[in-house]
Structure 1
Amino acid sequence: MTTNKPEIRIAILDLYDGIANEGMRGFQDILNRYRVQHGLNLSYQIFDVRRRCEMPDAKFDIYISSGGPGDPLISEGTEWEKKYFRLIEKLEDHNLSNNTDKKHTLFVCHSFQLMCRHYKLGDINMRRSPSFGVLPVNQTDAGASEPLFEGLFNPFYAVDSRSWQVINPNENRFKELGMQLVAIEKERPHIELPRAMMAVRYNDYFFATQFHPEADAGGMKALLLQDEKKNEVINEHGEVKYDEMLNHLNDPDKITHTQQILIPNFLDRAILSLHGAV
């Protein structure tokens, strides 16, 4: 029984705007599995941020902000985004205070782009064509000591799904804010384009990824077999690479490994700061 254990409350901010996705299921699967594995009194609540302008208060223990569709620039000034960044500011203020129960927050994909825009960490633009598939992600030198990457390979494999990207990291801004770029897009020697930022450590409690650490092999396979996604991958990477991606889904060292490592590492770290070791 877990009822005698202190409750751990997690807020999941759904930024998918009502669009069908695999991300929300992925987060819930990981949280449910983690709760059982560690025998925790862990609960989560989902907030429909963009479609219904729902927003959690600052009283949850842990926050996860999802990916989502569309241009991360045009939402500036919308009611939901104003509420979103008011929450972020409350969490930042809480973490800067003498409170010992720090609010750890994970930002994924669209949320990553919003936060990079908020902190002015780089240029946000639309890709020439969407990036979608199982792709390698390179850790930077700073990434070698990133706690959430402990147990991952370099490069590690993750699901990438984006039409927009953050490029040209502003090194002065990173230094000024004490933030670290911990992962970047795979090197493409035959293409003279900047490599996208793929993960950022904003501070001790805020971490963000452009890729989808919640994605699992089953959900990804279902997407790759859809005609639209199949054509996207083949147009961008070729049929050989498409077949390779399908094969990667059966490899336990690829996205399955990433899914089993990164978010659990995040939860370990967040819960340790709340109640001690899980």
Structure 2
Amino acid sequence: MQTDKPEIKAAIIDLYEDYPNQGMRSFQDLLKQYKAKHNVNLTYQIFDLRGKNEVPSLDFDVYISSGGPGSPIDSEGTEWERQYWDLIDAIDTHNQSDAIQKKHVLFVCHSFQLMCRRLKLGDVNMRNAESFGIFPTHLTEDGKNEVLFEGLADPFYIVDSREWQVINPNEQRFEETGAQLLSLEKERPHVPLPRAMMAIRFNKYFFGTQFHPEADPEGMKIHFADDEKKELIINEYGQARYDDMLNSLAHPDKIVLTHQTIIPNFLYQALQSLQEE
């Protein structure tokens, strides 16, 4: 019976600070789906770190750190961020020890930007205009060998929603930290600006995306119905592109596939050693 199996504990670190979002619902849905599909004793707990200084302990097996609003620079030195880095450092110390069961962390969007800022992997700055919509992301050579991308094409489709960006990879810091750049922003031949780094494996147990791998058609329909988001896309890309994005929501090879691939692959990699019969 499932109750006879060891409990696998996941912590969702909420960095939204009560900002309206679909991400927290999507993370929970994916965990519930994984639990049902793989018949594991998987539980999760949400920690409102940015809003209420709620910090998970080291008792969890897997951590998902969310996106969030605002600047990934201005929070430096705040109490919530100090607690955040204390946790990340403690997890890293655990993983570098001789402990058998390692702890995996997924960093999404705002969390990804925080990690890149801290590790000095590139320039973190505000975009000229918000990027919002469904776009292709292109794999690097390392990305083509990334286990969490197994089942995805090159390029594959992502949900992008950010006013900030991480650009200009610092090759020296990548080499020093052992991080691997896995994917880059859509190709923009007519835009003379650097492409953002969209996915990085920070180390064997830490993985991050600047896009939203949790995004699903249900959540995106809500976003696309928002007048401000609709206007943003139409002004930037035109009505035809907006209609195309809307029509692509149910396409099985676009964000549906990304939604069903990356986080489930992350959970499988993180939990396979814990799933004892």
Q: What is the TM-score when the length of structure 1 is the normalising length?
A: 0.98
SS of residue paired to 2:13:
strand
What residue is the counterpart of 1:246 in the other structure?
A: 246
2-structure distance, mates of 1:138, 1:173? 22
What residue is the counterpart of 1:154 in the other structure?
A: 154
SS of residue paired to 2:262:
helix
1-structure distance, mates of 2:184, 2:138? 5
8 A contact 2:13–2:46 mirrored in 1: yes
Q: Give, in angstroms, the shift of residue 273 of structure 1.
A: 3.1
* 1:227 equivalenced with 2:227 (yes/no): yes
Residues 53-64 of structure 1 mapped to structure 2, 5 A cutoff: 53-64=53-64
8 A contact 1:102–1:274 mirrored in 2: no
SS of residue paired to 1:274:
coil
SS of residue paired to 1:212:
coil
2-structure distance, mates of 1:50, 1:104? 21
What residue is the counterpart of 1:134 in the other structure?
A: 134
Per-residue CA shift, 1:160-204, capped at 9, x if unaligned? 000000000000100111110001101100100000000000111
What residue is the counterpart of 1:35 in the other structure?
A: 35
8 A contact 2:95–2:103 mirrored in 1: yes
What residue is the counterpart of 1:107 in the other structure?
A: 107
2-structure distance, mates of 1:169, 1:275? 37
1-structure distance, mates of 2:269, 2:226? 37
What residue is the counterpart of 2:69 in the other structure?
A: 69
Per-residue CA shift, 1:79-118, capped at 9, x if unaligned? 0000000000000000000001100000000000000001
Residues 202-221 of structure 1 mapped to structure 2, 5 A cutoff: 202-221=202-221
2-structure distance, mates of 1:60, 1:90? 12
What residue is the counterpart of 1:97 in the other structure?
A: 97
2-structure distance, mates of 1:274, 1:199? 26
8 A contact 2:13–2:49 mirrored in 1: yes
Q: Give, in angstroms, the shift of residue 275 of structure 1.
A: 3.5
What residue is the counterpart of 1:6 in the other structure?
A: 6
User: Which amino acid in 2 is paired with 1:96?
Assistant: Q
* 1:185 equivalenced with 2:173 (yes/no): no
Q: Give, in angstroms, the shift of residue 241 of structure 1.
A: 1.1
User: Which amino acid in 2 is paired with 1:83?
Assistant: Q
Q: Give, in angstroms, the shift of residue 59 of structure 1.
A: 1.3
2-structure distance, mates of 1:212, 1:54? 23
Give the count of matched residue pairs: 277
SS of residue paired to 2:51:
helix
Q: Give, in angstroms, the shift of residue 274 of structure 1.
A: 2.8
Aligned Cα RMSD in Å? 1.0
User: Which amino acid in 2 is paired with 1:192?
Assistant: P
What residue is the counterpart of 2:118 in the other structure?
A: 118
User: Which amino acid in 2 is paired with 1:206?
Assistant: F
SS of residue paired to 1:270:
helix
Consecutive unaligned residues in structure 2, runs of 5 or more: none
8 A contact 2:15–2:49 mirrored in 1: yes
What residue is the counterpart of 1:170 in the other structure?
A: 170
8 A contact 1:100–1:273 mirrored in 2: no
User: Which amino acid in 2 is paired with 1:26?
Assistant: S
1-structure distance, mates of 2:55, 2:8? 18
Q: Equivalent pairs: percent with the same residue?
A: 60
Q: What is the TM-score when the length of structure 2 is the normalising length?
A: 0.98
What residue is the counterpart of 1:17 in the other structure?
A: 17
2-structure distance, mates of 1:54, 1:131? 30
1-structure distance, mates of 2:188, 2:273? 39
User: Which amino acid in 2 is paired with 1:97?
Assistant: S
What residue is the counterpart of 2:264 in the other structure?
A: 264
What residue is the counterpart of 1:255 in the other structure?
A: 255
